């Protein structure tokens, strides 16, 4: 199915063969984790080139794909260029090649075939999730919520940030996650003002703002969820900031639907924070695509040229970060549908720890 969609796009773009080298792309098209090069000719059987460590697994798991063993003494560029010439392909579209490989492969192909970067073509497929992917992503979201619950249970004055992160990751793993989709962020007190914080050995104190940003990985698929809490009774200022960020997220979520410009959705959150005099503290884009990778297209920011499509899975994550004081971020992973957004992460809101 996915290979068929790839071939449709290849045909439209006059590509005779696709050379896929990025691991998540190989996984997307074959369902196999591992493999070094995937060559997909327009009308012949695809070939997956694998090294010895993956060879037996690939042969067992794959059907309809020819599995070829690469030995360390082989020059894969030579093998691929010979195959391309043998197939009579005149244009080879690739997702990614490092400069060295691009040069070598280009030389070997000479005038026989032209190399063309078609990363966008691959992303245009991957950014629209199919039903099977959405099921896996819903499960990744559920595991993430279990992680957040465990983090909340561990959250109290005197505990260190990494201890809270450890509880979250353990709960996700214990319930069947492959692992965290990224390093869990627990950033407390003044550290919550770092948008890309990490979990340090800081001891959490009464009255601290605590940002918890986490995600489980399930069957290769990621999820992304952030909540912010205050340990103890929130101050008026903390509540005011929290309400502003919540409002920004709500307004942005309401703006999400198929066909809307990603930067319009970002602008919605920015405008809302502006009415509270807070937009200068919103120092990152509103969100990003999620899938087999934690950060994917489409990007939601002021420079984005993307238009949202039904089937996109994106995050909506406004935040304010006041240096020396602290920060607040609220993030959910949502599915774009024709008329709006459906939340995949369903954790409740609220600043106070129950
Ligand atoms: Zn996140
Ligand atoms: Zn995110």
Dist. CA 182 → ligand 2 center (Å): 10
Tokens of 276: 């509270």
Phi/psi at 328 (5° precision): -135, 130
Q: What is the mean pLDDT of residues 71-78?
A: 95
Starting from the CA of residue 316, give the closest ligand: 2
336-to-129, 144, 324 alpha-carbon distances in Å: 10, 20, 36
Tokens of 186: 């627990």
In tens, the pLDDT along 157-206 reads 999 999 999 999 999 999 999 999 999 999 999 999 998 889 999 999 99
Dist. CA 347 → ligand 2 center (Å): 15
Tokens of 173: 């793993």
| Model confidence band, residue 7 (pLDDT cutoffs 50, 70, 90) | very high
Dist. CA 86 → ligand 2 center (Å): 45
| Model confidence band, residue 354 (pLDDT cutoffs 50, 70, 90) | low
| Residues lying with their CB under 5 A of ligand 2, a single-atom ion | 224, 315
Three-class secondary structure of residue 57 per DSSP: helix
pLDDT at 16 over 80: yes
Dist. CA 331 → ligand 1 center (Å): 6
**171-192 core/surface letters (b: 16 or more CB in 10 A; e: else):** bbbebebbebbeebbbbbbbbb
Starting from the CA of residue 211, give the closest ligand: 1
Dist. CA 214 → ligand 1 center (Å): 6
Q: What is the mean pLDDT of residues 6-35?
A: 96
231-to-1, 69, 331, 350 alpha-carbon distances in Å: 49, 56, 19, 12
- What average pLDDT does the structure give for the chain? 97
Dist. CA 288 → ligand 2 center (Å): 6
Return the pLDDT at 196: 84
In tens, the pLDDT along 207-251 reads 999 999 999 999 999 999 999 999 999 999 999 999 999 999 999
């Amino acid at each position: 199915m996915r290979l068929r969609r790839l071939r449709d796009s290849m045909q439209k773009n006059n590509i005779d063969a696709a050379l896929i080298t990025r691991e998540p792309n190989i996984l997307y098209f074959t369902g196999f984790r591992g493999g070094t090069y995937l060559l997909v000719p327009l009308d012949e059987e695809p070939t997956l080139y694998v090294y010895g460590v993956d060879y037996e697994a690939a042969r067992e798991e794959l059907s309809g794909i020819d599995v070829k063993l690469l030995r360390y003494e082989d020059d894969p560029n030579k093998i691929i260029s010979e195959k391309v010439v043998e197939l009579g392909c005149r244009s080879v579209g690739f997702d990614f090649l490092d400069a060295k490989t691009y040069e070598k492969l280009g030389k070997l192909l000479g005038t026989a075939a032209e190399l063309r970067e078609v990363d966008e073509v691959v992303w245009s497929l991957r950014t629209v999730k199919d039903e099977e992917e959405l099921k896996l992503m819903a499960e990744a979201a559920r595991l993430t919520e279990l992680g957040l619950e465990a983090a909340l249970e561990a959250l109290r004055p005197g505990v260190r940030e990494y201890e809270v992160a450890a509880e979250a990751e353990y709960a996700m793993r214990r319930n069947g996650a492959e692992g965290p989709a990224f390093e869990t962020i627990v950033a407390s007190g003044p550290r919550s003002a770092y948008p890309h914080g990490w979990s340090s050995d800081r001891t959490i104190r009464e009255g601290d703002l605590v940002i918890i940003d986490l995600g489980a990985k399930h069957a290769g698929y990621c999820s992304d969820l952030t909540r912010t809490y205050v340990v103890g009774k929130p101050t008026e200022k903390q509540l005011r900031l929290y309400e502003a960020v919540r409002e920004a997220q709500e307004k942005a979520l309401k703006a999400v639907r198929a066909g809307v410009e990603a930067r319009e959705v970002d602008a919605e959150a920015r405008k809302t924070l502006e009415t509270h005099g807070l937009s200068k503290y919103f120092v990152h884009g509103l969100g990003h695509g999620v899938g087999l990778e934690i950060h994917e297209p489409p990007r939601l920011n002021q420079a984005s040229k993307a238009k949202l499509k039904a089937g996109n899975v994106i995050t909506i994550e406004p935040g304010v970060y006041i240096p020396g004081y602290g920060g607040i971020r609220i993030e959910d992973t949502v599915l774009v549908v024709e008329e709006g957004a459906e939340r995949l992460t369903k954790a409740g809101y609220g600043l106070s720890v129950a």
